[in-house]
Amino acid sequence: MRNPLSHSVSVIQKSLAGGGLKGRVLRGGAMLGIGSTMEHGVRFLRNMLLTRILMPEALGVMTIILAINAALESFTEVGVREAVVQHVDAGNPSFLNAAWWFSTGRGAILCTLGMLSAWPLAGFYHIVPFRGLLMVSFLAILLNGAISTRAYLAVKQLHYGRWVAIMQGSALGGICVTLVLVWVLRDIRALVFGFIAESAFRLLLSFILCPFRPGRQFEKSQTKELFRFARGMAGVPFLTFLFIEADIFVLGKLVDKRSLGLYGMVETLAGAPAVLISIFINPILMPAFAQIRDQFTRINNALLKATRAMSVTGFLLCAWVILFGGDILRLTYGQAYGSAGPILAILFCGSVLRTLASPIPAIYLGIGRPGLNRTFTAIRTAIVLLLIYPAVLFYGLKGAACAGVISMTLAWGVQIRQMSKLTKLDLGDYFRSIAGGLVGAGIVLAVALAVRFTWQDPVFVLAAAGILSVGVVVLVAPMIIGDLKFTPESGLNPLDQASGANNTLIVSKA
């Protein structure tokens, strides 16, 4: 009889060693996973230090500065990286030239507009003493826009080593600058200069690791295709930003800077699952979907497998945060943050929902149909904008957190329905891929709460939650590991099998 553990390890090793799409995706995922784990571990330690050196009021001001930068950048975000990744002829120098000049020009214009608007924005949010720092912070937009477009080409070709070095290397450099400056200056200047330094490191590393000399050679047809994709993306990033940052902008006007700083730090901790979207899920899944863009059976299979794995992990973590949110905050940020445990739980659940929904937009981008994500994004944003002001006005920080969860849940239903029409995704299969993790987390949460109310001993609660979580993982892991197995009929993983002629999805370029 085979040892299950050794068999599972063997399956994973074979998948990682494979030369097909699945092997390349898994190897890239391992690289991104290791790099992002190191980066966010250091960010976590940085935040622990910041909350012990800086007052929450300073962190609240920085939250507003970061939100204004993100708002300005997202307003005209048109997905240059995504355009390069999905384009069939992205390696052509003329296409990379067009993409770089387009991105750099946009960054220069936004940086100028930001500096001109710094004074009125500082007055609106009552941060006039920091208007100079707000003005300087817009340099990050210019630096981000000018990075080498060959770095995006590396993502398209699934060469994730260089991408990890650029993104995680720049993040670690910026964090180090922030930590040195915060120890010396002990005020908000350290945060702003560290923010700019991270963008500068990213620009420098992109040209060192992915050399590119911008030229003036363009092809009219490729430039048109770039602008066509940009039109399809127009508005989607800004709507996404409004959904994510609406709470910050409303709280910035209705609550004091100390409460905003506390909320911002809690939101950063709660956003750990959503970070996977930008550093793991999109860089991995979007290029993979781009390579099977006309084979909807393979796309559906990959979607179900990704959702199943994320559901188990995400909902189990939700149960733990609900049970121990206050303790987590006291341990990481100090006693002043311990009372925000319920806020952390709400925000974390919303972050998990966003992560579960994220593979579907990656499919839209991968097949060159970014406009399909607009309906979902618009509905989600409209709901949160409708709810956020009264929620904050009547329920404060908890209301702001709940508004995001409600809007995400309602809009996700619309997105799932749209996906089923596009690729003939079976809704029953999709909901079953979610149910395992949801049921397992529900059992852990129910039993742990029963233990808490019966014995009121945190050690018993921790033991109960730990034992049950391990049990859920043991029960569900074989199913997830099974997604990596090679089929006996063909010796190929289902993700690497060629689909039949009847499985073709006609992709419009409109």
Give the Cα-Cα-Cα angle 8, 13, 14 (nearest 5 degrees).
100
Q: Coil, strand, or helix at residue 497? A: coil
At 82 the pLDDT is 72
> In the numeric block, which tokens belong to residue 50?
């910041």
User: Would the pLDDT of 494 be above 80?
Assistant: no
pLDDT band at 218 (very low <50, low <70, confident <90, very high): confident
User: Would the pLDDT of 493 be above 60?
Assistant: no
For residue 102, is it within any domain?
Answer: yes
For residue 366, is it within any domain?
Answer: yes
Mean pLDDT of 459-483: 70
Which stretch of 272-276, 425-429, 506-510 has the lowest confidence by average pLDDT? 506-510
At 159 the pLDDT is 72
For residue 456, is it within any domain?
Answer: no
DSSP for 108-128, please give it: HHHHHHHHHHHHHHHHHTT-G
> In the numeric block, which tokens belong to residue 57?
């009021």
For residue 451, is it within any domain?
Answer: no
At 196 the pLDDT is 96
Domain range enclosing 409: 37-426
- Give me the number of domains the chain comprises: 1
> In the numeric block, which tokens belong to residue 213?
């000399």
Q: Coil, strand, or helix at residue 456? A: coil
Between CA 489 and CA 86 the distance in angstroms is 32
User: Would the pLDDT of 503 be above 70?
Assistant: no
At 32 the pLDDT is 65
Which whole-number Å values give the CA distances from 492 to 18, 323, 430, 483, in the listed order?
Answer: 9, 42, 23, 12
For residue 473, is it within any domain?
Answer: no
pLDDT band at 5 (very low <50, low <70, confident <90, very high): very low
Determine the straight-line distance between the first and last CA of the chain, rounded to whole angstroms. Answer: 56
Residue entry with tokens 């014995």: 455
Average pLDDT in the chain: 79
User: Would the pLDDT of 117 be above 90?
Assistant: yes
Mean pLDDT of 319-333: 91
pLDDT band at 236 (very low <50, low <70, confident <90, very high): low
Mean pLDDT of 102-119: 91
User: Would the pLDDT of 277 be above 60?
Assistant: no
More confident residue, 284 or 384: 384
Which stretch of 391-395, 422-426, 434-438, 487-491 has the lowest confidence by average pLDDT? 487-491
Residue entry with tokens 């990213």: 202
At 488 the pLDDT is 36
Distance of CA 73 to the CA centre of its chain: 16
Which stretch of 30-34, 320-324, 479-483 has the lowest confidence by average pLDDT? 479-483
> In the numeric block, which tokens belong to residue 478?
């074989």
Mean pLDDT of 397-403: 94
Give every CB contact of residue 2 below 8 A, 6+ residues apart in sequence.
none
Which whole-number Å values give the CA distances from 233 to 80, 292, 400, in the listed order?
Answer: 9, 21, 28
Residue from 408, 368, 365, 370 nearest 387 by CA: 408
For residue 174, is it within any domain?
Answer: yes
**0.75 exceeded by pTM:** no
Q: Let me know if 390 is exposed, middle or buried by CB neighbors in 10 A (0-12, 13-18, 19+).
A: exposed
Q: For residue range 127-161, what is the model confidence (pLDDT) as tens digits? A: 999 999 999 999 999 999 898 988 888 777 767 77
The answer to whether 350 touches 409, Cβ cutoff 8 Å, is no
Length of the chain counted residue by residue: 510
Which stretch of 105-119, 171-185, 459-473, 490-504 has the lowest confidence by average pLDDT? 490-504
Mean pLDDT of 201-217: 90
Percentage with pLDDT > 70 across the chain: 78
For residue 306, is it within any domain?
Answer: yes
Return the beta strands (E) in 110-254 as ranges. Answer: none
At 36 the pLDDT is 67
Bridge partners of 295, per DSSP, are 504
> In the numeric block, which tokens belong to residue 98?
């067009």
Q: Would you tell me how many other CB atoms lie within 10 Å of the CB of residue 482?
A: 12
pLDDT band at 476 (very low <50, low <70, confident <90, very high): low
pLDDT band at 450 (very low <50, low <70, confident <90, very high): confident
User: Would the pLDDT of 502 be above 50?
Assistant: no
Calculate the CA dihedral of residues 156, 158, 160, 162 and round it to 10 degrees: -60
Which stretch of 350-354, 437-441, 489-493 has the lowest confidence by average pLDDT? 489-493
User: Would the pLDDT of 62 be above 50?
Assistant: yes
Give the Cα-Cα-Cα angle 459, 465, 468 (nearest 5 degrees).
135
For residue 476, is it within any domain?
Answer: no
> In the numeric block, which tokens belong to residue 204?
């420098």
At 133 the pLDDT is 95
